[in-house]
Amino acid sequence: MEPITSALLAWYDRCARVLPWRGFHDAYRTWVSEAMLQQTRVETVLSYYPRFLSRFPSLSSLAEAPEADVLKAWEGLGYYSRARNLWKGAQQVMAEYGGVLPRNPEQMRKISGIGPYTAGAIASIAYDVPVPAVDGNVIRVLSRLYGIRSDAMARETRRRIEELAAALVPPERPGDHNQAVMDLGATVCVPGTPDCARCPLSSFCDAFIAGDAADLPVLPKAKPQKVIPYSVLLILSGNRVLMRQRTEPLLRGLWCFPMFEGDLSAEETRAAAEKKLRLSLSVPEEAGSARHVFTHRVWQMRLYKTGTEASAPAPEGYDFVPLSRIGDLPLPAAMNAALALLTPRA
Ligand code: SF4
């Protein structure tokens, strides 16, 4: 075994984080945890993971569930395409693999929602296949360890990191090794200034010796997020409110209130809403503002409240949802501030 690997495993045996998805050789559980952990902090996943598994205890129960139930169980975690892909992937595994995730990472990558990282994680953790699982954490740790000072996203560099990662994975305990790298990247070799004094690999580490760990990995400058202004309009009709299940890729399948792009006044919002929805509305009352940050964009929302006739029919593509039923629908966190304006809320 590589000296780096044995030092890392010895550290892992002493310092591994205790996490509810560890200690099982169960590909479904590992898959759910890895899907939830993409772009999401461990602390957030800790509360969602057990709830999701008690609602969908097996791959078949997930595959058979309606999409809305899966999105509801994912509500608040964000990046909902992960939930949809997991659900579709479960159906694919039922249909094509007899309900059992394949061991082979190449085969696994043909399943919806499973990319190279997730395939490596599931194969190594659940099936003890000695393959790496390279994500942003691993790129950071290995860039520092091996002193890689070229653009970490460039194809050549990426290939080199993958080769180095593969060479480190031991045939025994591959899953523990991959989880050890993840833990090191999450708790010691963190973004910004790493805690090298606590690191089991400092004597092997090129960046530690060179003193430039905080500058690695070399990453291309992130593009500034695009800020998009919206009016979010709560249209009350008796004890119902107008909503729409989104069909756009962003937040598809989740329920939102009508939204109109632009930094619009109350009167402008009413005019836009009447034109689009063909409803007669009273002048909206401005009820606050909210901001929701996605990966590449920000919704800057002005919140308005208005009313229409109690018997008004819903425009095409929309539904008037009874206030007591809103809680049953999958709702994105982006609508939280608008939802808080509705009382009573179920
Ligand atoms: Fe990261 Fe520092 Fe450890 Fe190197 S010594 S791997 S930079 S924590």
For the stretch 116-125, pLDDT in tens is: 999 999 999 9
* Mean pLDDT value across residues 12-22: 96
Rama region for 224: left / alpha / beta (φ>0; ψ in -120 to 50; rest): beta
* pLDDT at 346 > cutoff 50: no
* Mean pLDDT value across residues 300-314: 94
Pocket test for ligand 1, best of 189, 190, 198 (most atoms within 8 A of CB): 189
Kindly report the protein residue whose alpha carbon is nearest to atom 1 of ligand 1.
189
d(CA 286, CA 231): 10
Which of 134-143, 172-181, 334-343 is predicted least confidently?
A: 334-343
* pLDDT at 345 > cutoff 80: no
Residue 199 near ligand 1, beta carbon < 6 Å: yes
Share of the chain above pLDDT 90, in %: 92
Kindly report the protein residue whose alpha carbon is nearest to atom 5 of ligand 1.
202
Residue 202 near ligand 1, beta carbon < 6 Å: yes
pTM of the model: 0.85
Residue 21 near ligand 1, beta carbon < 6 Å: no
pLDDT at 224: 86
What are the φ and ψ backbone dihedral angles of 183, each rounded to 5 degrees?
-65, -40
8 Å CB contact between 99 and 31: no
- Dihedral sign of CA atoms 337, 339, 341, 343 in order: negative
- For 148-160, how does the pLDDT look when each residue is reduced to its tens digit (9 = 90+)? 999 999 999 999 9
- For 81-108, how does the pLDDT look when each residue is reduced to its tens digit (9 = 90+)? 999 999 999 999 999 999 999 999 999 9
Residue 4 near ligand 1, beta carbon < 6 Å: no
DSSP reduced 3-state for 159:
helix
Task: Specify the DSSP class assigned to residue 58.
Answer: S
pLDDT at 39: 87
pLDDT at 343: 66
Give the atom of ligand 1 at the shortest distance from the alpha carbon of 140. 1
Residue 189 near ligand 1, beta carbon < 6 Å: yes
Residues with Cβ within 8 Å of 263's Cβ and at least 6 positions away in sequence, in order, are 229, 300, 302
Quote the tokens at residue 97. 């693999």
pLDDT at 261: 97
User: Is 34 an annotated catalytic residue?
Assistant: yes
